[in-house]
Structure 1
Amino acid sequence: MGYDMTSLVPSDQAFYGIIPGAGLTPVGWATLPVTFGTRDNYRTEYINFEVTEFETSYHAILGSLSLAKFMAIPNHTYLLLKMPAPKGVLSIYGDLQTSYACEAKNIELSDTLERSKNLVLVAQAAKNLPADQQQIPAKESTSESQLAPVVATKTIVLRDDEPHKTTVIGASLDSA
């Protein structure tokens, strides 16, 4: 990634919520300057970032503490972030297609991690089973369904001129 691991401050504070169901202890944290705006009107604040080693579609996440430091107001519906700057209000607009692509990628990564974790759990459970229980029983080949109705039924013809159209009703019911 472009991080100099020697400049990271060690961290032992786990956090949750980035990848569903997965907690994480970061590699460390670094304080970096973050600037929004243009050459003529900008705002810079120093923000602490937790550095992790897991895959996600996000490169950086600005949490509520970062937004408070910028005195920023997010509007998630319009993908808009507004904050005060020396020469007036800064408006930073997001891109709907990019946002959607990032969210879809993050969901895909989360699903992959969850499946991977489940496969590991199944493999561990299989190792603990006695050898005689590790075989998958052979499927019995039957030409008819194993399902049977709970109550007695009978087949009736729906129309006399189309005898192939039938239905199944309870044996105690009248077909008329």
Structure 2
Amino acid sequence: MDGGSGLNILYVDTLDAMHIPRLEQHPVCSPFHGMILRAQAYPLGQIDLPVTFGNQANFCLEVLTFEVVDFSGSYHAILSWSCYAKFMAVTNYIYLKLKMLGSNDVITMGSTFSHTFTCDREHYELATAIINSSKLPRLEELSTLVVLDCNKPTSLATFCPLEETKVVGIDPTNPTKTVRIGTQLLAK
């Protein structure tokens, strides 16, 4: 559970283990931040998958969109706040519980503190190993990864869109409030 994340993450190893063809993914051009220290990464694509909580007698099913990433993680997937909103689930991080309304009753999912500690330790060790290994400089060289210089200030003048944009007004009473949108956006 990552209630602070806005993306549902699925590792490509998990996708392969589920025997889902990679052709099922939709292309994505937007990077995301926070998975690799001081870097932005580009997903391999997005995929819509049905996710079920509960059992045959009492379940809740929703289709979620996952960002498929091609690097190691200590989890199979990471579910974001958008997942919990879609399931109308209530999380309690202190008791490690997740509750939602099922087809017949309340569904309660939980874990143990020892299991959570083990997962956190594996995640920390994996992140530390990647940072301290020769893999991080190799990752920085890949075209799907752009390393940010955190000590160098950035400005809006350094932003350069990848495609043509157009200006759209967002407040009819104030013509100075505008936003730029891409002209090549695909309709869904």
Q: What is the TM-score when the length of structure 2 is the normalising length?
A: 0.59
CA shift, 1:69, in A, is 0.1
Residues 119 and 51 (structure 1), Cα distance of their counterparts in 2 relative to 1, 3 Å cut:
closer
Residues 9, 58 of structure 1: alpha-carbon distance in 2 compared, 3 angstrom cutoff = same
Pair 1:18 & 2:35 matched: yes
Q: Which amino acid aligns with 1:74?
A: T
One of 71, 77, 91 as aligned partner of 1:74: 91
Aligned residue in 1 for 2:121: 104
| Distance of 1:119 and 1:95 partners within structure 2 | 33
For 1:69 and 1:46, locate their aligned partners in 2 and report how far apart those are by CA, in whole Å.
9
Cα deviation, residue 111, structure 1: 1.2
Offset of 1:17 from its aligned partner? 2.1
Deviation, structure 1 residue 58: 1.3
Residue 39 of structure 1: aligned partner: 56
Shift of 1:77: 1.0
1-structure distance, mates of 2:126, 2:40: 15
Taking only aligned residues, the RMSD between alpha carbons, in angstroms, comes to: 2.0
Query: For 1:9, which of 26, 47, 55 is the aligned residue?
Result: 26
Q: Offset of 1:110 from its aligned partner? A: 1.3
Residues 48 and 119 (structure 1 numbering): CA distance in 2 closer, same or farther, change over 3 Å?
Answer: closer
How far 1:38 moved relative to its partner?
1.4
Please state whether the residue corresponding to 1:101 is helix, strand or coil: helix
Q: Which residue number corresponds to residue 56 of structure 1? A: 73
Residue 117 (structure 1) shift: 6.2
Deviation at residue 95 of structure 1 after TM alignment:
2.8
CA deviation map 1:46-75 (0-9, x unaligned): 001111111010111110111100001111
Return the alpha-carbon distance in structure 1 between the equivalents of residues 38 and 86 of structure 2.
29
Aligned-partner residue type, residue 74 of structure 2: S
Asked if the contact 2:101–2:107 (Cα under 8 Å) also holds between the matched residues in 1, the reply is yes
Q: How far apart, in 2, do the equivalents of 1:46 and 1:67 lie?
A: 12
- When the two structures are superposed, what TM-score results if normalisation uses the length of structure 1? 0.63
1:136 — aligned with what? none
CA distance in 2, matches of 1:119, 1:52: 16
Between the two proteins, the alignment pairs up a number of residues equal to: 121
**Secondary structure of 1:82's match?**
strand
Structure 2 unmatched runs, 5+: 1-12, 139-188
Distance 2:137 2:128 in 1: 14
Deviation at 1:18, TM superposition (A): 2.9
